[in-house]
Copies of this chain bind each other. A is one copy, B any other.
Amino acid sequence: MSTIEVKPEGYNYVFSPYLKPAATVKPGDEVIVYTDDAFESRIKTKDDLPAKALATAKFLNPQTGPIYIEGAEPGDTLVVKIHNIEFTRDYAVSCFIEYFGGLTSTPTTRFLQEPLEEKVWIWTLIDNGQYLYNDEIRVKIPVKPFFGTFAVAPELEAISALTPGPFGGNMDVPDVKVGNIIYLPVYNPGALFYIGDCHAAQGQGELCGVACEITAKATLTFEIIKGKSIEWPRIESPEKIMTVGSARPMEDAARIAYVELINWLFDEYGFTKAEAYELLTQVGGLYVGNMVDTTYSLVASIDKKYLKRS
């Protein structure tokens, strides 16, 4: 075991099997990654309006990676634990971007209306980094850090870092946080892990499309479950098991998440699929991770206490 720092010289903007690894690590290594914010730190004050500040940024959501994990082979499952997330600056940035977000037309849901007015919101870390504060809104909100983007390279395809999918990606799911275990399918030798888009806080849905974006340093470890494949990302917290489905329309994301959770209960907890379908009807959880990205991400869950049968 060793400690490996991944300080990228440049960032990547696709989850791609065609890129040279930024680092190669072994299962169990302590891996320290540095991530930029979703705007490459181009927005720093409320005067840095996106249309101008991002005009020369050809792509957004820079990713650290790919990290090659030795021993990972197609058909395995990659297990990622997040041990620590530390911010590397003292403020987070949110903003309204024209034709982007949950309550505006977009290039996909395309209307003839004028865009909403753009605006930058600076959220300052206060109270020893426990809270965020914006001086217009004047409400103190708790810091709850997680990574919006968490991915492996897909098979054959190279997919924009703005997209969520079976490979993980830009899910914007707040449960990708310290203390939880994230499971991802492996499609390529080395898995080719990507990480980015740290959020100091985010509500369910990521309503305007831009959470409290911040630069960060995280400590991760990787494990591999050999010969076991999963179809979509899974998350385990101390209390719950969770599955993530990403699709449009949103009901398709819900269906994927719940079918995956039924399969998990069937494969590993001894329930028939009918029993799992019924049990989740009565005690399942289902929240919206993002309602703004190229596909929507929903999280289905069940408390572990319901997984033990009498």
A94–B275 Cα distance when bound, in Å, is 12
Bound-state CA distance A121–B96 (Å) is: 35
What size tier do the contact residues of chain A reach? 35 or more
The residues of B that contact A248 with a CB separation of less than 8 Å are 247-249, 251-252
Q: Is A115 an interface residue (CB 8 A)?
A: yes
Q: Is the CB of B103 within 8 A of A282?
A: no
One complex includes copies of this chain to the number of 4
For A13, A123, A141, A203, the residue with the greatest tally of chain B CB atoms inside 10 Å of its CB is A203
A87 CB, min distance to chain B CBs, angstroms: 15
Cβ 8 A contact of A201, one of B201, B203, B282: B282
Distance of A14 from chain B, by nearest CB (Å):
5
Contact bitstring A287-305, B, C-beta under 8 A = 1, else 0: 1100100001010100000
Residue of B nearest to A306 (CB): B139
Say whether B291 contacts A288, CB under 8 Å: no
Query: Which of A22-30, A65-73, A207-215, A217-225 contacts the other chain?
Result: A207-215
Pair A102/B205 contact, Cβ less than 8 Å: no
B113/A116 in contact, CB under 8 A: yes
8 A Cβ contacts from A78-121 to B: 94, 96, 102-105, 108-117, 119, 121
Q: Which residues of A contact B (CB under 8 A)?
A: 13-14, 16, 18, 59, 94, 96, 102-105, 108-117, 119, 121, 123, 132, 134, 136-141, 156-160, 201-212, 247-252, 254-256, 258-259, 262, 271, 273-275, 277-288, 291, 296, 298, 300, 306-310
